[in-house]
Amino acid sequence: MKPASFCWLSSAVLAAYGLLVVANNETEEIKDETARDACPVRLESRGKCDEGGQCPYQVSLPPLTIQLPRQFGRIEEVFKEVQNLKEMVNSLKKSCQDCKLQADDSRDPGRNGLLSPSPGSQGEADDNRVRELESEVNKLSSDLKNAKEEIDLLQGRLEKLNLVNMNNIENYVDSKVANLTSVVNSLDGKCSSKCPIQEQIQSRPVQHLIYKDCSDYYTIGKRSSEIYRVTPDPKNSSFEVFCDMETMGGGWTVLQARLDGSTNFTRMWRDYKVGFGNLRREFWLGNDKIHLLTKSKEMILRIDLEDFNGVKLYALYDQFYVASEFLRYRLHVGNYNGTAGDALHFSKHYNHDLKFFTTPDRDNDRYPSGNCGLYYSSGWWFDACLSANLNGKYYHQKYRGVRNGIFWGTWPGISEAQPGGYKSSLKEAKMMIRPKHFKP
């Protein structure tokens, strides 16, 4: 083989190599002029060819310089950045280790009074902490419970105090009024004994300057059941009442009457407060007036009831008082006697005594999920809700659905009625009061 052929071959080999290394025409500037001019490529034989046809030749190539694209210059920057990142990672690693060491130190029981772990026991330390927090929570919850009980207790005492104070004041005023009345009456007596002319006046109703209720009219000789004007409390204005002068000797001030359904009793707080209806037929006298009447003297309550079969029964309560509006007209009723049964104290759960007055627009009952007054279409001293409701709807015939008619829970045969079956309202009801110590 001639040397010129070798040069051509080596050039071809170099060109192919360059193409392989950089497959880009722009950068293909292989500096092979020297190879073409001086031909530094040499092929040397290193012995004989073996039997398989493989020959030990050595090709010496000239030094090679390749121009790389501009972007390759960034490799160095990338290397630098990688180096920086590596350093950062290392420093972070170190600070992390420092952190861990510090955290371990801070768990040292000598430096933190809250924890008392056994040496080297991380799980137990956590358990102890959890237990401690639990006991703290338990303590707080029991403290809260105690506080709630105390608040309840104080609330009860406050209510009692309120009642006591109101009663004291009322009693004080009553005794003053009673004293004055007796002084006036005794003066009247003295005058009439010394002045004969006055005896004619004596027959007139002047010995009672104040007619507190119907019993005072009875005392001065009034015997007809009529409307009279009473002044149970001199500090408040007088008002008209209907007096029953026949039942059980007479002297009764009527508070409520149901006869024929001519008056609607599904009314709001304001109406029950001032009263409504017709005194000669159906009416509610009014909670403010009932309060004044019952605080002026110790009163007894009589309830007369009649059903559509003509059965007439009554209930007599030896104690009856209705508190002021401030105390939501709370009912105090006791010492039952009579034939109709004590529906106002039906059971532990249906007891109207000591209950507040509730109307469809004012929920003072003991039923937490709703308003008994709204449900039973009435204003009454509802418990949760009722065993009596004399202000219920007037039904002329038997009715179904909610038992919102005029109702007395101890009425004979009433418990036999099926919940979904027909019910009867009472035909007549009357509530009236008279002083406890009145003798007709």
**Minimum CB distance to Ca ion smaller for 296 or for 364:** 364
Task: Look up residue 16 and give its two tokens.
Answer: 């192919």
**Minimum CB distance to Ca ion smaller for 166 or for 374:** 374
* Cβ-based neighbours of 351, under 8 Å, separated by 6 or more: 344, 345, 383, 387
Smallest separation, CB 328 to Ca ion (Å): 13
**Minimum CB distance to Ca ion smaller for 363 or for 428:** 363
- Is position 365 an interface residue for Ca ion (rule: CB under 5 A)? yes
- Is position 375 an interface residue for Ca ion (rule: CB under 5 A)? no
DSSP class of 250: S
Q: Tokens 């009435």 correspond to what residue?
A: 378
- Is position 239 an interface residue for Ca ion (rule: CB under 5 A)? no
DSSP string, 109-146: TTT-TT--PPTT-HHHHHHHHHHHHHHHHHHHHHHHHH
**Minimum CB distance to Ca ion smaller for 239 or for 367:** 367
**DSSP E strands, 340-394:** 388-389
Task: Look up residue 92 and give its two tokens.
Answer: 């972070």
**Minimum CB distance to Ca ion smaller for 217 or for 376:** 376
CA-nearest of 411, 402, 439, 407 to 425 is 407
Q: Which stretch binds Ca ion (CB under 5 A): 94-102, 303-311, 363-371, 385-393?
A: 363-371
* CA 6 to chain CA mean position, Å: 106
Q: Which stretch binds Ca ion (CB under 5 A): 22-30, 104-112, 202-210, 361-369?
A: 361-369
- Is position 233 an interface residue for Ca ion (rule: CB under 5 A)? no
Q: Which of 239, 314, 350, 367 binds Ca ion (CB under 5 A)?
A: 367
Smallest separation, CB 365 to Ca ion (Å): 4
Smallest separation, CB 349 to Ca ion (Å): 15
DSSP class of 273: H
- Cβ pair 411, 429 in contact under 8 A: no
**Minimum CB distance to Ca ion smaller for 283 or for 356:** 356
**Minimum CB distance to Ca ion smaller for 368 or for 421:** 368
- Is position 383 an interface residue for Ca ion (rule: CB under 5 A)? no
Alpha carbon distance 266, 374 (integer Å)? 8
**Minimum CB distance to Ca ion smaller for 294 or for 371:** 371
**Minimum CB distance to Ca ion smaller for 10 or for 371:** 371
Give the contact letters, 98-127, x = binds to Ca ion (CB under 5 A), - = no: ------------------------------
Alpha carbon distance 200, 431 (integer Å)? 38
Q: Which stretch binds Ca ion (CB under 5 A): 157-165, 296-304, 329-337, 359-367?
A: 359-367
Cβ of 437: how many Cβ atoms within 10 Å?
9
Task: Give the HSE-up count for residue 30: Cα atoms under 13 Å, Cβ half-sphere.
Answer: 23
Q: Which stretch binds Ca ion (CB under 5 A): 223-231, 282-290, 341-349, 364-372?
A: 364-372
Smallest separation, CB 396 to Ca ion (Å): 30
Alpha carbon distance 329, 263 (integer Å)? 22
Residue 213 burial (C-beta neighbours within 10 Å; 0-12, 13-18, 19+): buried
Q: Which stretch binds Ca ion (CB under 5 A): 165-173, 247-255, 355-363, 422-430?
A: 355-363
**Minimum CB distance to Ca ion smaller for 294 or for 359:** 359
Smallest separation, CB 363 to Ca ion (Å): 4
Alpha carbon distance 288, 295 (integer Å)? 11
Number of residues forming the site for Ca ion (CB under 5 A): 3
Q: Which of 32, 318, 353, 363 binds Ca ion (CB under 5 A)?
A: 363
The alpha-helical segments, DSSP class H, found in 259-370 are: 269-274, 287-296
* CA 172 to chain CA mean position, Å: 40
**Minimum CB distance to Ca ion smaller for 218 or for 382:** 382
CA-nearest of 416, 357, 415, 426 to 390 is 426
**Minimum CB distance to Ca ion smaller for 244 or for 365:** 365
Smallest separation, CB 181 to Ca ion (Å): 42
Q: Which stretch binds Ca ion (CB under 5 A): 174-182, 198-206, 223-231, 357-365?
A: 357-365
Smallest separation, CB 160 to Ca ion (Å): 23
Task: Look up residue 349 and give its two tokens.
Answer: 């759960």
Q: Which amino acid is at 308?
A: F
Q: Which amino acid is at 418?
A: Q
Q: Which stretch binds Ca ion (CB under 5 A): 13-21, 146-154, 365-373, 397-405?
A: 365-373
Q: Tokens 């027909």 correspond to what residue?
A: 422
Smallest separation, CB 362 to Ca ion (Å): 10
Smallest separation, CB 372 to Ca ion (Å): 6
- Report the length, in residues, of the chain: 440
Binding positions for Ca ion, rule: CB under 5 A: 363, 365, 367
